[in-house]
Amino acid sequence: MPTALITGANRGIGFGLARAFLADGWEFIAAVRDPANAGDVRALATGHPGKVSIEKCDLADFTTIDALGAKLKGRAIDLLLGNAAKTDNPANTIGNTDYDAWIDAFRINCMAQYKLAEVLAENVAISAQKKMFFISSRIGAKPPPGMVFFRSSKSALNQVVFQLSLMLKDRGITVACAHPGFVKTISTANMGVFTIDESAGYLKKIIDRLTMDVSGSFFEPDGSTLPIITRQMNPAAFGAKAPDAWAEQKKAWADAGVSI
């Protein structure tokens, strides 16, 4: 029986994904900020004896991520699903930027996702399915202006996912992310195109079909892909280091004992 660990599983898209995986026979670990007040997840656990466990994980506090990793040491996790995010970012304008709030957004939406992958990589590596999947957003590439904290942190998450796909390839771990669509949740004041269950259904189809050949991809909810890296990858771009020069540079770093 496969196991998923889902952050932010106590509400919204995370809760919808939890229900979808449970319905498909999975076990899941709900990693939530406040287990005592995760009433909906507790109800799921009661209705599915032995299939749901609830663990504390506050993405703003990296010590809780380390503690979760220590508690789960040796347990196979087929799917690490990073869903939880800081979404209450102001529609800021030039001149009123709250830089502490911006740091919080990056810490939770980007850095904490990498931390989860880092801490739980071994759990995923020893599983049968070996998947990591992160709920991102395409909002970083769209107008109107504002919401700079959320937009920039999610765009950065896309790059983190791409880098994780490269770093974890040798361990057989597939890493991807997706835009969930415009979903009716508390965060959107219940405005949107999809219900929570519709979005979760689309995302689960993507996750179910993930294979190593699409690792590093950024998906639309319909399963099509969006570019994370485009012309920046072109070794022939003006001012770029040619492939042979790049190989020489890496060798020079290695000879100097520099880790890359």
Tell me the domains of the chain and their CATH numbers: 3-229 (3.40.50.720), 230-260 (no CATH)
Angle formed by the axes of helices 148-167 and 112-125, to 10°? 30
- Stronger pLDDT, 183 or 141, i.e. the higher one: 183
Mean pLDDT check: name the lowest of 87-101, 119-133, 183-197: 183-197
Mean pLDDT check: name the lowest of 11-15, 111-115, 176-180: 11-15
Percent of the chain past pLDDT 90, that is, above it, reads 65
DSSP letter for 32, please.
E
Mean pLDDT check: name the lowest of 48-52, 132-136, 151-155, 249-253: 249-253
Q: Looking at residue 232, what is its pLDDT? A: 62
Residue 231 and residue 238: Cα distance in Å, rounded? 11
Task: Flag whether pLDDT at 236 surpasses 90.
Answer: no
Q: CB 172: neighbour CB atoms within 10 A?
A: 12
Task: Flag whether pLDDT at 238 surpasses 80.
Answer: no
Q: Looking at residue 251, what is its pLDDT? A: 81
Cite the DSSP H helix spans in 48-127. Answer: 62-71, 99-106, 112-125
Q: What is the DSSP string of 71-92?
A: HTTT---SEEEE----------
Q: CB 182: neighbour CB atoms within 10 A?
A: 14
Confidence of residue 84 (pLDDT cuts 50, 70, 90): confident
Residue 112 and residue 236: Cα distance in Å, rounded? 34
Residue 66 and residue 44: Cα distance in Å, rounded? 26
Give mean pLDDT, residues 228-237. 67
Q: Which of 97, 199, 220 is nearest to 147 (CA)?
A: 97
Amino acid at 94: I
Residue with tokens 């503690």: 67
